Amino acid sequence: METRTCPLCSLPRTPADAAGLTWSSQHEPDGSTTWICPTCTRAQLWRIEAMLAVASPTAPVAPAPLRRAA
Residue 1 confidence (pLDDT): 47
Instruction: Work out the mean pLDDT of the chain and round it to a whole number.
Output: 77
Residue 10 confidence (pLDDT): 87
- 18, pLDDT greater than 50: yes
The residues with which 26 forms a beta bridge, in sequence order, are 34
Contacts of 2 (CB under 8 A, 6+ apart): 32, 33, 34, 35
Residue 17 confidence (pLDDT): 80
What is the per-residue pLDDT across 35-61, written as a single tens digit (0 to 9) for each?
A: 888 888 888 888 878 887 776 655 555
